[in-house]
Chains A and B, each alone.
Chain A
Amino acid sequence: MTSQRNTSRFMVLLLISCLTLSAFSDPDTSFAQTDNRTVLVGIYENPPNVFTSESGKPAGIFIDIIEYIAKMEGWKLRFLSGTWVEGLDRLAKGQIDLMPDIAYTVDHEKIYTFHKVPALSSWFQVYAPKGSKIKTILDLDEKRILVLERSVQQKAFVQLGKGFGLNSTLITVPDYNTMFEMVANGEADAAITNRFNGMMQAKNFGLENTSVVFEPSDLFFAAPKKASGMFLNAIDRQLLNLKKDPQSVYYTSLKKWTSEDIQFELPGWVPVIGLISGVVLIMSLVGSIVLKHRVNARTRELKQINQEMEQRISERTEELAATMEKALAADRIKSAFLATMSHELRTPMNSIIGFTGIMLQGLAGPLNPEQNKQMTMVQNSARHLLALINDVLDISKIEAGQLEFSLTSFDLRLSIENVVKVISPLAQKKGIVLNLDISDNTGTITTDQRRLEQVMLNLLNNAVKFTEKGHVNILCRFKNGHYILSFADMGIGMRPEDLPNLFQPFTQVDTGLSRKHEGTGLGLSISKKILDMMGGSISVESQWGEGSIFTVCIPETTGDLP
């Protein structure tokens, strides 16, 4: 509603602005002497421009304007009511001095005289009963259209109809009231009126403005041909003054007749939209209140859930910390266990191996051959048990991440020779030749010497162990910051299917009771893990029945442990 009203106000202001501009552009501003003449003004019913009020007095925008002009010019005004046509006739005959609200046209110019400053600007608009479906000029085809007799609208619409090829019935009526009544009664389909009149009156008859608008025109006071120029100039002069001053009668009148007292006809959709909007708004409000309530409820729920979650998290964190502490404790226990195991197992082993050795050396007295044979078996079993203990402890330490390296820089050649020296007795015993081929660029290596020697010892021991006769070649090369060590034997070799699991714990190709090569089955697994930790690698090539080559690649320097 409000927006429609504002739009109307805007329209009016726009109109006024246009009028004001045209007023300023009018050069005729000379003042005439006032005279005490009586001016007879024709009145007809064309609200709000000119009409007879309920109290029987003339009223409307034109009346306000002319009353002001008369007051300023010292004129006396008299009014003569009649129909539009009567008024025009009287004016033409000079029976009245002025007819308000006449559009300037070439035809009118022939009969009447006009002042120059337009009093109002208007256009014609088609009004029809509500729901008429008249949307465009073409919708007027085959319709009964009412128009004011001898009005500008009549002529304009005839031309317009021809232009659009309309076949409508144009009915002329003497006044606007008749026009609206006929449309309201269904005697006609639509009425053509000017914008001011339509705005003010049509609604009273249940009619609405269509969007068919045409022929904008300027409206004036018309005077008989014989009217003096002084008289008309006086009107222009006063109109200019009126239009200059925003507080003038002109504007208050416009405001009064178009904004305040007059209900604008709103397009049908406006109240519908308004109603819908209102309902929607109320529903939104109700909805938002309900929603807010729900949101609040949900927020409380979420807060509660959040608190519960926080509590749970804090509980879990504590549990985790406790578990962590337990794990650390378990880890410490494991370390302690390993150390204890190591000690507790070695102490009796020390006695077993020690006394066996003493007896075999004959230090406790001479042994007969059978005693010597059996004590040797005890010694071998004890040594095997010790090897197992050592390897299991190694594996445990590696898997517990407790195998620590003690890094030193040492001469790799010397280290290899040292390992060869340890294995030599075994090789000599089997009649196996150990060929050492160490390249000249072999220098120092930085790693855990004991662990590297453990790996080399394991590989060389295996090579000799599995070779019945022939030789074992030990190669050392230095290339791209890495040492390549290879141990090639002429042993039993391995089948391709045996290779994948070779480096897994407790894997021995020769298993079962029939096996003749003793070993823990952990050596290669430990070697691989140690080399992994050193940033190195181990690989194997083997030919069943011909021998195996184990190749170790190890960086010159073992980096920091992860």
Chain B
Amino acid sequence: MKDTLLIIEDNEQNFYMMRFLLEKNGFTVIGAENGPKGIEMALSQKPSAILLDIQLPEMDGYAVAKELKKHGELADIPIIAVTSYAMVGDREQVLAAGAHGYLEKPIDPETFVADIIQYLPKNR
């Protein structure tokens, strides 16, 4: 069965690239361009993992992560922050907000899919 991955990302090119890479590797990809829509999709679709951008309009990635954690039924779904924030403390802050993993943009297309796979529940 194909794993469904949710990408919450407002940048169209980045979303397209990640979806392209993941679909090439057999994943089903759903997407949301903002936080509230992402939370709604997470609750309705129950994806295998959530790829979360931090720099989002209105509701940022930290707030989205915290909100997702409030829902018990989503507790087991890993959140992987994919962010171009590269300032000191970003990683710690993201993990503190409830993310399980952290990938720094720009992503390396050669390793990106492998990095995602390692966070999936069946691989943990």
Contact = CB atoms under 8 A, between A and B. Distances in A.
A346 B13 contact: no
Contacts of B108: 353, 357
Interface in B96-111: 105-110
A345 B112 CA distance: 19
A508 B112 CA distance: 33
Nearest to B10: A347
Interface in B68-91: 83-89
B13 A351 contact: yes
Interface stretch (B16-24, B26-34, B39-47, B115-123): B16-24
Indicate the size class of the contact surface on chain A: 20 to 34
B89 A404 contact: yes
Interface stretch (A32-40, A254-262, A335-343): A335-343
Contacts of B21: 354, 358, 363
A406 interface: yes
B109 A354 contact: yes
A338 B86 CA distance: 10
B89 A347 contact: no
Given A358-B17, A358-B20, A363-B20, A403 B88 contact: yes
Nearest to B12: A351
Contact of A354 (B24, B85, B88, B106): B106
B18 to A, nearest CB: 8
A350 interface: yes
Residue with the highest number of chain B CB atoms closer than 10 Å, among A338, A342, A361: A342
Residue with the highest number of chain A CB atoms closer than 10 Å, among B20, B92, B109: B109
A345 B84 CA distance: 9
Nearest to A339: B87
Contacts of A393: 86
Contacts of A351: 11, 13-14, 17, 106
B118 to A, nearest CB: 17
B4 interface: no
A361 B20 CA distance: 13
A350 B107 contact: yes
A353 B110 CA distance: 11
B84 A358 contact: no
Given A354-B14, A354-B17, A349 B106 contact: yes
B14 A350 contact: yes
A403 B87 CA distance: 9
Contacts of B105: 346-347, 349-350
Residue with the highest number of chain A CB atoms closer than 10 Å, among B11, B20, B106: B106
Contact of B106 (A346, A361, A397, A404): A346
B86 A357 contact: no
Contacts of B84: 342-343, 345-347, 350
A401 to B, nearest CB: 12
Given A346-B105, A347-B14, A406 B20 contact: no
A364 B17 CA distance: 11
Contacts of A397: 87-88
A466 interface: no
A80 interface: no
Interface of B: 11, 13-14, 17-18, 20-21, 24, 55, 83-89, 92, 105-110, 112
Interface of A: 338-339, 342-343, 345-358, 361, 363-364, 386, 390, 393, 397, 402-406
21 contacts: A339-B87, A342-B85, A346-B106, A347-B11, A347-B105, A348-B13, A350-B17, A350-B107, A351-B106, A353-B109, A354-B21, A354-B107, A355-B17, A355-B109, A363-B21, A363-B24, A364-B20, A397-B87, A403-B88, A405-B88, A406-B88
